[in-house]
Amino acid sequence: MTWQDDASHDLLNLGGRLALLVRGEGSHVWDADGARYLDFLGGIAVNALGHAHPVFVEAVTKQAAVLAHVSNYFATPQQLELAARLKRLAGTGAGGHVFFANSGSEANETAIKLARLHAHKTGTKTIVSLNGAFHGRTMGSLSLTPKPAYQDPFRPLLPDVAHIDPTIEALERVFVDESVAALVVEPIQGEAGVVPLPDGYLRRARELTTAHGALLIVDEVQTGVGRTGEWFAFQREGIVPDAMSLAKGIAAGFPLGALVTFGDNDLFYPGTHNSTFGGNPLATAVGSAVLAEIEDTGLLSNVTDRGAQLRAAVDGLPLVTGTRGAGLLIGITLAAPVAAQVRDAAQRRGLIVNAPTADVIRIAPAYTIGDAEVDEFTILFSAALAEVAASNPTAAAASSVPVAAAAASDPKESK
């Protein structure tokens, strides 16, 4: 039997088994057959420090030997340290608070409960999210994720949830009275194809939510903890939200999520929410170590610089029509709906990327990448694009790079 047979026999049929990966180091992973891949997906924007980073390994090892879990009946120094660090980096002010969970979906479930508590307190009602959003797959977070393929099998979903287009005009139309309890937005919609909000959107959202007594909740699960070159993407707009959800890169591969509140917007009280594993000393020790490494070594500057370098590197490649996103969360737009073909061609050459939509390739590599990784990515990605362009001449016509020239650099032995 193969590993695919074992997976089919023993795991739920939810897809996503492109290879059997067994080891990682830096920006590379190896499969069970010994093939090496350049990982430019980073566990979907999770592995901020890459694989097996010494700081990550030391934090896990040291804390696991001391205290791993104590339940939510107790506080630990590791939990308090990480909460204080997050408040400082986010600029919550003295009134800010942190709740630790295990994932982005759980962090967003906490945000939904915060919105409901606010609704009960103020007499408001509706939670608003944006078309194209992805906030998770649990029943609450799924209710804020308006994608029929995800939602339809599980209806009925939460009541009093509305979805609007991600435009300032639609935002202004929804705030016609005092019925909105909370607006939940991603600064960049990763699953929609790395689509940033329009210029000025968050500033206008802050004005309207304040004027109408609603909460502004920013989902920074994918954009937070330095992914865009700022600690948190909302900081690029110069606004302060009422709460934000975090996960993914916060512990660089160890399961950890958080809801951070700003000012005096912590409406929870004992019994309204909790998590057995959330904020355990092992997870929070790793989170503190990861954030300290990012801060102490100036990795945010590297995120910005390497992001610009990668955008320049793909400009003019076959099929590429542009890029969008920020920092090291980049969507590469294609001239045709061939993203899945490009993803597969890239993997055959030893490059891991993904296709969130039919015409976009998403990359979210480690913050630690350098010239060597950028050069390797460019070679492998160029070859994958050239292969797909060769079989799609109409789409290839949109490229300024001759397909034959790009294909000549195909490094098929790099795996």
CB-based contacts of 320, cutoff 8 Å, min separation 6: 314, 332, 333, 334, 335, 385, 399
Burial of residue 118 (CB within 10 Å: 0-12, 13-18, 19+) is buried
Tell me the CA end-to-end span of the chain in Å, nearest whole number. 24
Distances (CA, A) of 131 to 159, 186, 221, 268, 313: 17, 11, 17, 28, 31
356: three-class secondary structure by DSSP: strand
Instruction: Please say if 296 is a catalytic residue.
Output: no
Instruction: Please say if 134 is a catalytic residue.
Output: yes
Pair 384, 407: CB distance under 8 Å = no
Pair 45, 227: CB distance under 8 Å = yes
Strand 320-326 and strand 329-334: the pairing is antiparallel
Return left, alpha or beta for 84; rule: phi > 0 is left, psi -120 to 50 is alpha, else beta: alpha
Place of tokens 């660090």: 85
Two tokens at 237? 């707009």
Pair 33, 4: CB distance under 8 Å = no
Angle 273-274-278 (CA atoms, 0-180°, nearest 5)? 145
Two tokens at 70? 């104590």
Catalytic option among 87, 248, 262, 415: 248
Beta sheet of 360-363, edge-to-edge order = 320-326, 329-334, 360-363, 354-357
Half-sphere exposure of 203 (CA within 13 A, CB side): 6
Which run of H or E residues covers position 22?
Answer: strand 21-25
Instruction: Please say if 242 is a catalytic residue.
Output: no
Catalytic option among 99, 100, 134, 262: 134
Closest residue by Cα to residue 222 from 375, 327, 81, 336: 327
Catalytic option among 219, 242, 266, 359: 219
Angle 318-389-325 (CA atoms, 0-180°, nearest 5)? 45
The residues annotated as belonging to the active site are 134, 219, 248
